[in-house]
Structures are given as structure tokens and as C-alpha cells.
Chain A
Amino acid sequence: MRFLIVDDSSTMRRIIINTLHKVGYRDCTEASNGREALDRLAASGADMIITDWNMPEMSGLDFIRAVRANAATRDLPVLMVTTNAAKDDIVAAMRAGINGYVVKPFTPETIKEKVEGMIAQHAGRAAPRPV
């Protein structure tokens, strides 16, 4: 399972990667914004994306829209990890095409449960298209 972790905070990328390592997922690539993440996807692909929302250059929302618009990546499961917790934010993220949502701050268990749930769900069906 190859993960692409997208966050402008190197600390947050490290926390997420440490959590994934602890539960046995060791293949993680990092990007610090949406544009860099699209380059990483084009170069080496991924099986799951974990992305922040507020980032310079290209936001998480614009990044997800670009992922869903590309035939090669549109079915990838996407988990958003962000401080944006308002109902309107979650609706906007769902419309852009996310599969899961975690609000910062979070415990490692929350990330673990969400990732494992999404993997199980994705094994059964393709990711939703943007609404």
C-alpha cells in the first residue's frame, strides 16, 4: 500500500507517517502542497492520499478536484486531515470528492481507524465521483 501524504507542515507529515509506520504501512511519499502532490502522483503514483486543506500554491480542495478530474487517479481513496471542522467545510470537501475526513487535533488511533476503514471500503468499491 503506497501512501501520498500532502501537508505544508513537515511536522504533520511526520506525525501521519509515524502513525502509518506503527500500523505496518511503510511506503509513504510526501508533498508540501497540491501542485507538488500532482507531480508526485504523475511520477510514481499512490494507492491512497492523505491531504491537508490549507496549503500554499494549491489547496487541498483544488488538489482533490484535480485528482478526481484525471482518469488515472480519479478512483484513489482520499482522506482529508484539517483544522477546518465547520459543517460547510465538510460539505465542500465531500463535494470535491473526499472519502474520509479527520479534524486536527487527532489521536493516532483515529488516523489508524479511518485509514483501515477506507482501505476495507475501497477494496469493495471505487471512490465516489465529485458531486
Chain B
Amino acid sequence: MTGMTDDLLASLIAATQEVFEKMVSSRLVSKTPIVGEALRPSSNVVATAAFTGDRCGVVAFYSTTQTARDIAGTMLGIPPEDVNGEMPDAIGEITNMITGAFRMRLAARGHKCAISVPSVTIGSDFYVKYVSDVRRTLCPFAMDDRQEIFVELILTEDGQPPASADSR
């Protein structure tokens, strides 16, 4: 990894931890980031938000459906078993806040960016493939010692916003 990517990753990890501490009352423990395409988590919920400007790329959030329901329940103040249609909106908002907090940290380093509205995909047997030339780094987090979430930083090599295609 380059120094630049290390800085960006540290910013994304700090942004994710801040969002979970304030909005989900959870302390996330960061694990060793995984660089490259080799390993993707088997997740049922994937949310993405793009950023573009001085740096271009995508922030992606991954979790199981149960973890996503737990997160939504905590945010909404209701038991996870009562969470139904609210979960995609809650996970989209979490991803929006992570990307927004990441953007704020980029701005503090002199990189101005705009962010897109988040999109949330829920299902099974799918992965997101980027047709642009991108560098992917997956950041695993332990949540409350029980569950795991992943946040991925996808940076374009050419400085352009990445194009993606959902694949099976």
C-alpha cells in the first residue's frame, strides 16, 4: 500500500468507528485490512456510496442480514425482531454517514469531494464487480465481540468515478 492509501484507509476506519460509536452505541475493533480482489465477505446486505472530486471511488458496507437488523434496531430503538422494512434505510443512512465522515477527513487533508446518495442491495449469491481499474481494500471490524461487519475502500486508479456491475 502507498502512504496515500494508508492515510485514506486510516480515515475510513476512524470514520466508521465514529459513526458506530455515536449512532449504534457500538465500539468497533478494527482488524487487519485485506488488500485486493482475493477475498470478499459472504454478506447479504451491501450498501455503497460513491465519492468524486480530488479523489474518486466508492465506500461499501457489508454485513449479514441479521447484523443489519441488529444495527437498524439499535438505531431505531426497537428490538431487532421488530425491524422489517426499515433495515435498508437504516443501513443506507449508516453508509451515508460513514462516507460523509470520510469525506470530512479527506477535506481536512485538502482533498475536496462530493458524495452520492447511498444504494443498498439485499440478497444472496451476488458480488459487486467494478469494471473500472480500481484498487480495493477491505476493512473488517468486530462489533461488540459477537458480530462482524466490513467496510471497503474502492479507489479508482485513473481518478474517474468507478463503474460497477452486479454479477452472479
Which residues of A approach B to under 8 Å, CB–CB?
A: 9-12, 14-15, 18, 54, 83-86, 103-107
Nearest CB on B from A120, distance (A): 24
Nearest CB on B from A18, distance (A): 5
* Assembled-state Cα–Cα distance A106/B56 (Å): 26
Q: Given A9-B89, A9-B93, are A105 and B19 neighbors across the interface (CB < 8 Å)?
A: yes
Which residue of the partner chain, among A18, A54, A84, A107, contacts B22 with CB atoms under 8 Å? Answer: A107
Are B76 and A104 interface neighbours, CB within 8 A? no
Q: Given A10-B86, A105-B97, are A15 and B104 neighbors across the interface (CB < 8 Å)?
A: no
B18 at the binding interface (Cβ < 8 Å): yes
Determine the main DSSP class of B at the interface with A.
Answer: helix
* Assembled-state Cα–Cα distance A11/B76 (Å): 6
Which residue of the partner chain, among B75, B100, B112, B117, contacts A84 with CB atoms under 8 Å? Answer: B100
Q: Given A54-B117, A107-B22, are A11 and B75 neighbors across the interface (CB < 8 Å)?
A: yes
Which residues of B approach A to under 8 Å, CB–CB?
A: 18-19, 22-23, 72, 75-77, 86, 89-90, 92-93, 96-97, 99-101, 103-104, 107, 112, 115, 117
Could you list some 23 contacts between A and B, CB below 8 A? A9-B92, A9-B96, A11-B89, A11-B93, A14-B75, A15-B75, A15-B76, A15-B77, A83-B100, A83-B101, A83-B103, A83-B104, A85-B103, A85-B107, A103-B104, A104-B23, A104-B96, A104-B97, A104-B100, A105-B18, A105-B23, A105-B97, A105-B101
- The residue in chain A whose Cβ has the minimal distance to the Cβ of B99 is A83
Are B97 and A18 interface neighbours, CB within 8 A? no
Q: List the B side residues contacting A54 at CB < 8 Å.
A: 117
* Assembled-state Cα–Cα distance A18/B76 (Å): 8
* Assembled-state Cα–Cα distance A110/B115 (Å): 24
Q: List the B side residues contacting A84 at CB < 8 Å.
A: 100
Nearest CB on A from B60, distance (A): 17
Q: List the B side residues contacting A104 at CB < 8 Å.
A: 23, 96-97, 100-101
Are A83 and B115 interface neighbours, CB within 8 A? yes
Which residue of the partner chain, among B92, B104, B117, contacts A85 with CB atoms under 8 Å? Answer: B104
Are B22 and A105 interface neighbours, CB within 8 A? yes
- The residue in chain A whose Cβ has the minimal distance to the Cβ of B21 is A105
Are B90 and A11 interface neighbours, CB within 8 A? yes
Which residue of the partner chain, among B89, B96, B103, B117, contacts A10 with CB atoms under 8 Å? Answer: B89
Are A106 and B22 interface neighbours, CB within 8 A? yes
- The residue in chain B whose Cβ has the minimal distance to the Cβ of A85 is B104
